[in-house]
Structure 1
Amino acid sequence: MQLKNVIIAHKAGDPTSRQVAEKCARELEKLNCHVLMGPSGAKDNPYPVFLASATHPIDLAIVLGGDGTALAAARHLSADGIPILAVNIGGHLGFLTEAFETFRETEAVWERLLEDRYAIERRMMLEAGLFEGNRTNLQPIGDRTSALEAYRFLALNEMCIKPASADRMITSTLELEIDGEVVDQYQGDGLIVASPTGSTCYNVSASGPIVYSGMEAMVVTPICPLSLASRPIVIPSGSVVSIWALGDYELNTKLWTDGVLGTAIWPGQRVDVRMANCQAKFIILRENYSYYQTLREKLLWTGSRIRYQNNHRN
């Protein structure tokens, strides 16, 4: 890997993350690397500025924070194929990030990257589009020249269609189509369309299944449905999931991408969710990386709490 142009995004409001980012920037600049650095958070999105101001292709994005910071990087950088080195500094669960201990000796990390001594894990992304009625073309907003930019949303974890209101809890009625065929109508708090990566996030909290992160599939999971017959379903990655908001006269239904508000959904509009034509690329520095080990450690399964010798294998 070349390290000529590098992005460094640190968690907004976290002083430790910023200090490490500044240290990384100084070291990379000594290697004649051009660095673009800024905070990333709920009210800070540095990526449009990064991408617009880069005069040469970006070799690497270093993301210092938690899973939310890594998700934001994936949404904005995956379409350009920029590899992401996400490090858990100031985060909590850290499903998508390298442990800080792996990154502590930063000068050794730069050496490993320059010598291509790392792995890249590719993860499926989701893409959502907003459509009018049964039309198959995206509709532009106002004077925006690109309908694709106006109505194309990316997510690494999940697309969620659920209502939001400042003054009351709302039960939504949503109709689900898969590849043009009506599957069910749901009453409840909403619907999740998750990727394999997102299956261990909001989806599993809503009693959805865990899907191996390297697979290409989608999980549709109802959130607190009023019918016990409404169950999660795993579908092929080539499917198109269409969701209609029914009976929403107060315009409360919203599309959420990785927990971030995407857009409001008006009556007569539908959301189509499918596998995106790009993948998120995460750099793995850990040796003997195991997805199942991550599950044991992050979800506190029995294997991470109880240790005993299994002599039956010998």
Structure 2
Amino acid sequence: MELKQVIIAYKAGDIESQKWAQRCAKELEVLDCKVLMGPSGYKDNPYPVFLSSASEKIDLAIVLGGDGTILAAARQLAPESIPILAVNVGGHLGFLTEPFELFRDTQQVWHRLQGDRYAMLQRMMLEARVCEGDRCSPQSSSDRFYCLNEMCIKPASIDRMPTAILELEVDGEVVDQYQGDGLLVATPTGSTCYTASANGPIIHPGMDAIAVTPICPLSLSSRPIVIPPGSIVDIWPLGDYELNTKLWTDSSLATSIWPGQWISVKMAHCMARFIVLRENYSFYQTLREKLQWAGTRIHFDNNHRVN
């Protein structure tokens, strides 16, 4: 990998993250690398400025923070095919990040990157748009919205907790109507986040699939469903007379949904590309460590397994 122009984004308001970002910038500049650096957070989105001010191809994005910081980076950088080195600095869970211990020796990291001594993990993304008009020939009325975890269609109100009534179509066929807190349309990566909290399925990130999960449905028979990655998922808000229904991407507000509009979700044309420094990456170990997947209550010896 060449390191001629690099993005460094750090968690906004986190002193430790900013300190390491500044250290990385100084070291990379010594290697004749142009660095674009800035904070990323709920009120800070540096990526449009990064992309518009880049003088040449961006070789790498170093993102220092937690999962929220990484999700924001993926939404902005996946369409540009920019690889992301995500490191848990100032974060909490760190489900999507490389361990900080492998990043502490930053000089060694630069040598590994320049020597192509790393792995690349690609993760499926979703894209959504707001549609209106004739359902047989819909017109897009919004930009494309991307997510790495999930698209969420649910209402929001300042003074109460409104219920959503949502109709789900898959490839033009009505699947069901859901009354509850909303619907989640998730990637395999997102299956271990909000979807898991809503009792949805856990899907290995090596697969391409879409999980649709109702949030607190007012029915004992409403169940999650896993569908092929080529499916088109259309979600129609019904009975929303107060304009509360909104589209959320990775828990960030994307847009409001007006009467006569619906949300169309499909697999994105781009993939999020993550650099892996760990020599032995295990999705199952991540589940055990990060989500405390305990499994059985009693463990028996397995004499057939040689440690």
TM-score (norm 1): 0.94
Q: 1:1-314 maps to which residues of 2 (within 5 A)? A: 1-133=1-133, 134=135, 135-139=137-141, 150-302=142-294, 310-314=302-306
Contact kept? 1:220, 1:232, Cα under 8 Å: yes
Q: CA deviation at 1:22?
A: 0.2
Q: CA deviation at 1:151?
A: 2.2
Give the Cα–Cα distance (whole angstroms) in 2 for the partners of residues 185 and 299 of structure 1: 31
Q: Secondary structure at the match of 2:304?
A: helix
Contact kept? 1:86, 1:98, Cα under 8 Å: yes
Q: CA deviation at 1:303?
A: 7.1
Q: Secondary structure at the match of 2:131?
A: strand
Structure 2 spans left out of the alignment, 5+ residues: none
Partner AA of 2:14 in structure 1: D
Structure 1 spans left out of the alignment, 5+ residues: 140-149
Between 1:293-302 and 1:86-95, the stretch displaced more is 293-302
Give the Cα–Cα distance (whole angstroms) in 2 for the partners of residues 214 and 37 of structure 1: 31
Give the Cα–Cα distance (whole angstroms) in 2 for the partners of residues 93 and 106 of structure 1: 22
Q: CA deviation at 1:310?
A: 3.0
Give the Cα–Cα distance (whole angstroms) in 2 for the partners of residues 181 and 33 of structure 1: 52
Contact kept? 1:160, 1:257, Cα under 8 Å: yes
TM-score (norm 2): 0.96
Q: Secondary structure at the match of 1:302?
A: coil
Partner AA of 1:212 in structure 2: H
Q: CA deviation at 1:2?
A: 0.2
Q: CA deviation at 1:61?
A: 0.1
Q: Provide the identity percentage.
A: 70
Please report the RMSD computed on the Cα atoms of aligned residues, expressed in angstroms.
1.5
Partner AA of 1:27 in structure 2: E
Partner AA of 2:34 in structure 1: H
Partner AA of 2:100 in structure 1: F
Q: Kindly report structure 1 stretches of 4+ aligned residues shifted beyond 4 Å.
A: 303-309
- Provide the aligned length of Structure 1 versus Structure 2: 304
Give the Cα–Cα distance (whole angstroms) in 2 for the partners of residues 120 and 250 of structure 1: 46
Give the Cα–Cα distance (whole angstroms) in 1 for the partners of residues 193 and 286 of structure 2: 13
Give the Cα–Cα distance (whole angstroms) in 1 for the partners of residues 305 and 87 of structure 2: 36
Q: CA deviation at 1:55?
A: 1.1
